[in-house]
Amino acid sequence: MKIGDSCPDFDLPGTDGKNHALSGMTAELLLVIVSCNHCPYVVANEERIANLAREYAEKNVDTIAINANDTARYPEDAMPEMTVRAKERGFSFPYVRDDSQNVVRALGARFTPEVFLFDRARKLRYHGRIDDNHRDATSVKSHDLKNALDALLVGKNPPVEETSAVGCSVKWK
Amino acid sequence: MPSDAARAKVKKFVETYVRKGPYALYPDAVVTDNVIEGLADNLEAHGKMYCPCTPIDECIAQGSAMVCPCTPHESDIEKQGYCDCALFASRDFVAAENLKKSGQK
């Protein structure tokens, strides 16, 4: 996807037993995180993601995490394990499975975690990494996703629209 | 962020392995650069090019088996055409991907 492209439509089953569709995401901004259970980069970012989703939900931002990894090769990315993880980490946002991998392919995602931030018209406004230090949250110098969220929430353009996501490759079928 | 020295060491290893070994680089430079970055990160933090796509405690427990090129990379390439990190791929896989890309143009 390129900046300005529309969010692909989705309707995917979540760890809460419900389906979550693009049409049901009605907040000012929509944050889509391509994620999974097993990737060390995701694990290192999970607390940050959970905190960020909670903080920005109060500012009218919907968050959804999508796991499309091939469960034949990575059984720990299957729905039962995702459900356990969502509970353990106290995710306040939908954590959904994209078994067909169609949504994640349409997003053009390559990595986990990789973030896609959409505006009110569901056009892509920021794409890439969460920040510049997956290893240590206290050493982050560039809060790229937060900067984009804060800018869009006050009607400005993100200071940086694209960064390179750092993570494991999506496990394609 | 790994140092330039660590990154250069990993790049040199990857280039040599591809030049002398049976495999090619996975045909997406954005992905391979990302894996190289992860390997350099582990080299700097843990002293070895541990697989960046496996939890570090598992890597350390398995020792040299999870140092790039890891033990499972050959069977992964045989099964799916590329290693699980998507750094190395079979030459057949690369040729097929290139064919797909040229068909899309």
pLDDT at position A115: 98
pLDDT per residue over A63-85, tens digit each? 999 999 999 989 999 999 999 99
pLDDT at position B103: 80
Domains of chain B, first to last: 4-89 (3.90.460.10)
Please judge whether A169 and B31 are an interchain contact, meaning their C-beta atoms are less than 8 angstroms apart.
yes
Please judge whether B45 and A132 are an interchain contact, meaning their C-beta atoms are less than 8 angstroms apart.
no
- Which tokens sit at A15? 């760890």
Query: Which residue, A65, A86, A67, A94, is CA-closest to A78?
Result: A67
Q: Which residues of B touch A41 (CB under 8 A)?
A: 38, 52
Residues of chain A with pLDDT under 50: none
Does the residue A37 lie in any domain? yes
What's the pLDDT band for B104 if we cut at 50, 70, 90?
Answer: confident
Please judge whether A168 and B37 are an interchain contact, meaning their C-beta atoms are less than 8 angstroms apart.
no
pLDDT at position B105: 64
Q: Which residues of B touch A167 (CB under 8 A)?
A: 34
pLDDT at position B3: 94
Q: Which residues of B touch A112 (CB under 8 A)?
A: none
pTM summary value: 0.92
Rounded Cα distance between A109 and A105, Å, is 6
Inter-residue contact A104 to A170 (CB < 8 Å): yes
Specify the CATH number for the domain of residue A67.
3.40.30.10
Average pLDDT of chain B, as a whole number: 94
Does the residue A57 lie in any domain? yes
Does the residue A114 lie in any domain? yes
Inter-residue contact A9 to A30 (CB < 8 Å): no
How many domains are there within chain A? 1
Please judge whether A111 and B34 are an interchain contact, meaning their C-beta atoms are less than 8 angstroms apart.
yes
pLDDT at position A106: 98
pLDDT per residue over B84-99, tens digit each? 999 999 999 999 999 9
Does the residue A145 lie in any domain? yes
Q: What is the DSSP string of A69-92?
A: --TTT-GGGSHHHHHHHHHHHT--
The H-assigned helical ranges of B4-28 are 4-20
Residue ranges making up the domain that contains A132: 11-169
pLDDT at position B1: 81
